[in-house]
Chains A and B, each alone.
Chain A
Amino acid sequence: MASTISVAGLVKTFGRTRALDGLDLEVKPGEVHGFLGPNGSGKTTTIRVLLGLLRADAGTVRMLGGDPWSDAVALHRRLAYVPGDVTLWAGITGGEVIDLMGRLRGGLDRRRRAELLERFDLDPRKKARTYSKGNRQKVALVAGLASEAELLLLDEPTSGLDPLMESVFQQCIQEVKREGRTVLLSSHILAEVEALCDRVSIIRLGRTVESGTLSELRHLTRTSISVETAQPVTGIDALPGVHDVVLDHTSARFDVDTQHLDAVVRRLSTLGVRSLVSTPPTLEEMFLRHYGDEETSGAEETA
Chain B
Amino acid sequence: MSARAPRVGTTSGTGILLRFMLRRDRFRLPWWLLGTGLLLLIQSTQSQNVYDTPEDLARLRETLGGNASVVALSGPTELLDTIGGEVVFEIFSYLAVVVALMSMFLVGRHTRSDEEAGRAELIRSARVGRHAPVAAALCLAGLANLAVAVVVFATAAGTGLPAGGSVLLGVATAGLGLTFAALTAVAAQVFENARGVYGAVGLAIGASYVLRAAGDVGNGALSWVSPIGWGQRTFPYSDNRWWPLLLPLGVTALLVAAAVALLDRRDFGAGLLQSRPGRATASWALGSPLGLAWRLQRGSLTGWASGLLLLGAAYGSLGNTIEEYVADNPEVADFLPGGAADVVDSYLALTILMSALITTAFGVSSTMRVRGEETSGRAEPVLATATSRSAWLASHLTVALVGGALVLVAVGFGEGLAYGLTVSDAGQIPRLMAVALVYLPAVWLVIGLAVLGLGWLPRAAAAVAWVVVGYCSIVALFADSFDLPAWFQSASPFAHTPEAPFETVTTAPLLIIGAVVVVLLAGGLIGFRRRDVGY
Taking Cβ atoms with an 8 Å cutoff, the residues of A that contact B are 14, 48, 51-55, 72-74, 76-77, 79, 81, 83, 85-93, 95-96, 98-101, 103-106, 123-127, 129-130, 140, 143, 153
A88 — which chain B residues lie within 8 A by C-beta? Answer: 378
Are A53's CB and B383's CB within 8 A? yes
B3 at interface (Cβ–Cβ under 8 A)? no
Quick check: is B250 within 8 A (CB to CB) of the other chain? no
Assess whether B193 is in contact with A90, with CB atoms less than 8 Å apart: yes
- Name the residue on A nearest B296 (C-beta): A89
Complex CA gap A192/B102 in Å reads 50
Is B382's beta carbon under 8 Å from chain A? Answer: yes
Tell which of A51, A55, A95, A143 touches B280, judged by Cβ atoms closer than 8 Å: A95
B279 at the interface (CB under 8 A from A): yes
Q: 14 other contacts beyond A53-B383, A74-B386, A93-B277, with CB at 8 A cut-off? A: A53-B380, A73-B387, A73-B388, A87-B378, A90-B195, A91-B195, A92-B286, A92-B295, A95-B278, A96-B282, A96-B286, A98-B282, A99-B287, A100-B287
Give the docked Cα–Cα distance between A48 and B379 (Å): 12
| B415 is an interface residue with CB less than 8 A from chain A | no
B288 CB contacts on chain A under 8 angstroms = 103-104
Give every chain A residue within 8 A of B287 (Cβ-Cβ): 99-100, 103-104
B323 at interface by CB-CB < 8 Å:
no
Instruction: Enumerate 27 A-B pairs (CB-CB under 8 Å) in ascending A order.
Output: A48-B533, A51-B380, A51-B384, A54-B535, A55-B530, A72-B383, A73-B387, A76-B385, A79-B384, A81-B384, A90-B193, A92-B295, A93-B277, A93-B280, A95-B280, A95-B281, A95-B282, A99-B281, A100-B282, A100-B292, A101-B381, A105-B386, A126-B278, A127-B278, A129-B275, A130-B192, A143-B381
- Is B532 within 8 A of A104, CB to CB? no
CB-CB under 8 A from A77, the residues of chain B are 386
Given A76-B386, A99-B286, A104-B288, do A83 and B381 touch, yes or no (CB 8 Å)? yes
- The CA-CA distance from A31 to B387 in the complex, in Å, is 27
Query: Considering only CB atoms and an 8 Å cut-off, how many residues of chain B contact the other chain?
Result: 38
Query: Closest Cβ of chain A: how far from B535's Cβ, in Å?
Result: 7
- A52: which B residues are within 8 A, CB to CB? 383
- Closest Cβ of chain A to B526, distance in Å, is 14
**Which residues of B approach A to under 8 Å, CB–CB?**
116, 192-193, 195, 275, 277-282, 286-289, 291-292, 295-296, 376-378, 380-389, 530-535
Q: A99-B287, A124-B280 are in contact. Are A53 and B534 (CB under 8 A)?
A: yes
A99 to B282, Cβ gap below 8 A?
yes
B97 to chain A, nearest CB (A): 26
Residues of B within 8 A of A81 (CB): 381, 384
A291 to B388, CA, bound (A): 37
- Please pick, from B280, B281, B286, B386, the residue contacting A73 in the complex, using a CB distance under 8 A: B386
* Shortest beta-carbon distance from B98 to chain A in Å: 27
Question: What are the residues of chain B within 8 A of A92 when measuring CB–CB?
Answer: 278, 286, 295
